[in-house]
Structure 1
Amino acid sequence: MNEIAPSPGWQALIDHRRALAGRSLTALFAANPQRFAQLSLAWDDWLADWSKQRLTAETMALLVAYARERNLPAWIAAMFAGEKINLSEQRPALHTALRQQGDAPLAVDGADVIPAIRTVQARMRMLATQLRGGARLGATGRPIRYAINLGIGGSHLGPRLVCDVLAGPRAGRGDGIDVAFVSNVDPEHLSRALAGADPATTLFVVVSKSFTTQETLKNATSAREWLAAQLGGGPALGAHFIAVTANAAAARAFGVAGTDVLPMWDWVGGRFSLWSAAGLAIAIRCGWESFAELSAGAAAMDAHFRDTPLPRNLPALLALVDFWNAQASGMGQRVVVPYAHALSRLPAYLQQLVLESNGKSVMRDGAPSSRPTAPALWGEPGTDSQHALFQWLHQGMHAVPVEFIVPVRAAHPLSDQQALLVANALAQAQALMTGRPLAAVRAQLAAKGVAPDAIDRDAPHRVCPGDRPSTMLLLPELNARRLGQLLALYEHRTFVEGALYGINSFDQWGVELGKALAEPLIAAVRDGVDSAGADASTRSLVAHVRTLSRRV
């Protein structure tokens, strides 16, 4: 059957949407003094406020009923139990097991996975401690002081984001080791990371589940050649590599010592892998204690998500708001604005998490979706974005939901700057909702003594229509525990949205298509091999690339 066939719950939502049509956000607040209390939730000193979204308490009740109709509680239980909810690949999705705080058994195909997780974590801790303490020696006997993480997608975005948040100012660190991240096959990315580096003290962490990822393996090969040119080749170069992979044989064939190969499991998707050995760079850069606290924070959100009924379940409720905007209200975009410079890379991380998970048009049962799935997601940090994209948000033709993420306390306070930052976030959310009507603009200009003809000319340009929806997430501070909670919150929201859409959030077959088509074109661009199998446009582009390449 069609996974998203019409249902009483869906019809109730559509009827309710029609009843809400034409009611502004300010009118909804005026009609209900309890609106904020009904459309917000506090949890562990967090406060989530979606009262500025175009919905009501009745909407949320209908959404919760629809979630139950879609068997959401059963899907949540199935994920935590290790059932094979990744149906197209017949795998569990057990990233939550990686941050489980106790040793309660969890079986996959009849085998408890927790002991293997603990073994890998012990090896991660040992490697990180050695590197941070200067005990890991390179081929020349000098200690490693610089590590470069080679990965792409989830092997890059998550660890880099966490390191950006937790590493802190360089002057505040005493461990003396730096970590860089290289993902792009563009040679400039690796070249910049190597500029000024000393091969004798540089280590590469190669993260690829298959150990065949094109970009990662090409960068690893170039890194090995760079080392060999300075240090000479041979087995000694193995001291400069650690591999994180499910293909240990390929890693050893590349030259990584067996004791330096950390395993990955097929039940951990790349975009959820920072909690695995793919997060080794986090432990190296920030310390094992920070990695452990990050995991503990995520585990706290896991427990809340697993055990809390839907009407008080923070990830589920926020996902229901997202679902309402995307499917019932037809909003095709979603903007995320973290008011924290350390979270500058969060929108890019969420693009992979959300869009690779839910950017699909086929249901779990193989039927095409009859309704939109994940909207486009993008954003930039505040307050920088106030001087760029917020012009479009306030006066553009599209009413796009905005999500503000605001740590209240600063990690490194300077004067009253954190108060300015938080106040700006609150003001932007208010401005999106209330706008600035023409009458108010005219009154303001008149109060300044502006001539009537100038008011007639200028006032329309200053009008902001308002009635733009937003959600506000206030968290106490941005540390390892809170970051773990934040990332797990988004993981679970993404899973809930996929369950409501009726799709599999844990495969990514669209990614595979581009990889397959690139193979023959690499030979065409690099070696001049005939590209007859490509379309006319691509063949012409290849020919022009070849012409320009010969001019070098």
Structure 2
Amino acid sequence: MKESVGVSGPVASPAPLAECPEWRAFLQAAKAADRGAQVLRVVEAAGLHLDLSAQAWSEDLRQAGEALLAARGFDDARRTLLEGGIANVTEHRAAWHTALRAEPSPVPEVGVERDRVRAFVRRVDGDGRYKSVLHIGIGGSDWGPKLVVSALGYAGARREVRFVANIDGHAMEAGVLGLDPHATLVVVSSKSFSTIETMRNAERAIEWLRDGGVAEPMAQVAAVTSNVAAAQKLGVPAEQIFRFWDWAGGRYSVWSSIGLPIALALGAEALDGLLEGAAAMDAHFARAPLSGNAPVQLALAGLANRSAFGYATYNIAPYDARLGNLVPYLQQLEMESLGKSVDVGGATVTVPTGPVVWGMPGTDGQHTFFQWLHQGPEGAPVDFIICREADHPYPEHHRLLVANCLAQREALLRGKSVAELVPEQRTKAANDDEARWLACHKAHHGGRPSNLIVLPRLAPQALGALLALYEHKVFVQGAVWGIDVYDQWGVEYGKVLATGIAAELGGGPAGEHDVSTAYWVGRWK
């Protein structure tokens, strides 16, 4: 890992983006570009197909996007990221998640931990140990494994995995309900091994093992952390502590030993496939020309949608019921990374940064919020995600799923005007005025941007490539905006306040609060 890239103190702000001529040219080209899908634009990357045809496009826009990336130092930033330089400038460390999935890894210790995880899984499989796993973690230590296990475990798993994240005691109660303590492995995943929710839930889980008659409860506890000493202090056996590193951000950590519950549930080969798919996307991101680089083009489309066209939100619509946890996973990835209002130098960013990310699987979303997408005044760009092949024995279901996905995307793009609708309504209306009135209610705006991402099937490799595609897309957008996408200081302030309030609720001295907070602290006391 490079230690010399970056500095340990403040860094200079990039030129204000709003004053950058390449930025202004990019926005102008986006607004002048075709938005009617006149050109088929499909990029293949790591086995995935990304169709950008429903985004703004012109040759001028392509050139403006490449000029913008050059002006914002994209090539150097990408090199710093992929070579392990200081990409996370406020914490003065790398963000080298690509090293976690490279084979072989440029960090030898990564290979050692991979082997330890696989050996542990082989050992417990060979001994027939553990029918269930109780996984305790939150944020990046939770969403990645939860997504992968739910997405790939549709046909059954070697072990049931329950995920407990929330400090709400109901989450723990639900997590252990019906489990046999003697046949359960508790996995505690925390980068710092100090996150309050995780550590309190870990204590409860150990109590649950003890109360369930397990003579040596710590023998049934494994830990995944960068703070090995803290895990040892808790009493976790050394051979059951699996390490990852502070340069692997939480929301980028599923590729590390955090993947232990994936291997326990689905087998080490599933984890290997996930890493293989992500590494293939890394290679594409590093080498593909910009015009055919899937993460770059996805990022540029998002930049145009956010700033040229003013879309403040971004919808994720996976047309696969197994990808229900993809939306919150991407919410964390995008909003924790891009929800910044200052640049790397501490100056206020002069343009809007990351949009609000939301969604749910189709076709459920069609019966929930697609009315707003089609006819609401704002609308939102949509990423439609679907598998070419299904893994169930119901071809008619998959045909209808694909038809709905393609149709909703086409409706958002094409729209339907009042003028088109009036003749149709005349057969249903009493007169021309009523026909026009009905047509106004049924009109669709059209011209609403979307992407279509097609996976061959929901296999580990394809899922790994999909997640890495979004990781790199976020990086590209951060490079243009000039922000640090790898820190999350906005998360910390509330944690500090919560610690003080918790002490007050436990009988400690009163703190200084606004009138409402002071009132409710008093009521609870």
* Equivalent residue in structure 1 for 2:148, among 162, 176, 181: 162
Match 1:283 to one of 238, 263, 269: 263
Partner of 2:29: 16
Change (3 A) 1:44 1:250: closer
Query: Match for 2:517 among 538, 544, 547?
Result: 538
Matched, 1:351 2:331: yes
Aligned residues: 512
- Given the two structures, how large is their TM-score scaled by the length of structure 1? 0.89
Give percent identity, aligned residues only. 39
Q: Who is 2:93 aligned against?
A: 91
Amino acid of the residue matched to residue 415 of structure 2? G
Q: 1:433 aligns with which of 400, 413, 434?
A: 413
Kept after mapping to 2: 8 A contact 1:399/1:469:
no
The residue number in structure 2 matching 1:371 is: 351
Q: Is the 8 A contact 1:4 1:369 kept in 2?
A: no
> Which one-letter code corresponds to 1:117 in the other structure?
V
2:361 maps to 1:381:
yes
**2:426 aligned with 1:446:** yes
1:484–1:18 distance in 2 versus 1, CA, 3 Å: closer
| Partner residue in 2 for 1:138 | none
Task: Give the Cα separation in 2 of the matches to 1:474 and 1:250.
Answer: 43
Q: Which residue does 2:81 correspond to in 1?
A: 79
Q: CA deviation at 1:4?
A: 4.0
CA distance in 1, matches of 2:185, 2:123: 12
Residues 199, 58 of structure 1: CA spacing in aligned structure 2 closer, same or farther, 3 A cutoff? same
- Give the SS at the match of 1:231: coil
Contact (CA 8 Å) 1:4, 1:501: kept in 2 or not? no
1:148 and 2:134 aligned: yes
Tell me by how many angstroms 1:453 deviates.
5.4
- 1:370-519 to 2 correspondences below 5 Å: 370-448=350-428, 452=432, 454-519=434-499
Letter in 2 for 1:41: V
SS at match of 2:135: strand
Q: Please give the alpha-carbon distance, in whole angstroms, between the structure 2 residues aligned to 1:156 and 1:305.
A: 26
Deviates more, 1:84-93 or 1:55-64: 55-64
* 1:542 maps to amino acid: V
How many Å separate the matches in 2 of 1:12 and 1:521? Answer: 50
Per-residue CA deviations over 1:325-381 (Å, capped at 9, x if unaligned) read 123333211111111111111110001111111111111111111111111111111
Report the 3-state secondary structure (helix = DSSP H, G, I; strand = E; otherwise coil) of the residue aligned with 2:426: helix
Quick check: 1:401–1:470 contact (8 Å CA) kept in 2?
yes
Unaligned runs of 5+ in 2: 1-11
Q: Deviations over 1:182-238 (max 9, x none)?
A: 1111111111111111111111100011111100000000111111112266xx211
Equivalent positions of 1:510-529 (< 5 A) are 510-525=490-505, 527-529=506-508
d(CA) in 2 for partners of 1:354, 1:323? 13
Single out whichever of 248-257 and 272-281 deviates more from structure 2: 248-257
Residues 1:389 and 1:44: Cα distance change in structure 2 (over 3 Å): same
User: What is the alpha-carbon root mean square deviation over aligned residues?
Assistant: 1.8
Is the 2:164–2:172 contact (alpha carbons within 8 Å) kept by the matching residues of 1?
yes
Q: Tell me the SS of whatever aligns to 1:206.
A: strand
Q: How far did 1:530 drift?
A: 4.0
The CA deviation string for residues 459-515 of structure 1, in whole angstroms up to 9 with x for no partner, is 322122222111111221110110011011011111111111101111111111111
Q: How do residues 129-278 of structure 1 correspond to structure 2 at under 5 angstroms?
A: 129-135=122-128, 143-170=129-156, 173=157, 175=158, 177-231=159-213, 236-278=216-258
Q: Which amino acid aligns with 1:80?
A: L
- Once the two structures are overlaid, the 10-residue window that deviates more, 451-460 or 219-228, is 451-460
Q: Which amino acid aligns with 1:224?
A: I
Are residues 1:58 and 2:60 paired? yes
For residues 45 and 119 of structure 1, what CA distance do their matches in structure 2 show? 29
2:135 counterpart letter in structure 1: N
Does the Cα contact within 8 Å between 1:120 and 1:277 map onto a contact in 2? yes
Answer yes or no: is the 8 Å Cα contact 1:3–1:365 preserved in 2.
yes
Of stretches 304-313 and 434-443 in structure 1, the one that deviates more from structure 2 is 434-443
Q: Is 2:389–2:457's contact at 8 Å kept on the other side of the alignment?
A: yes
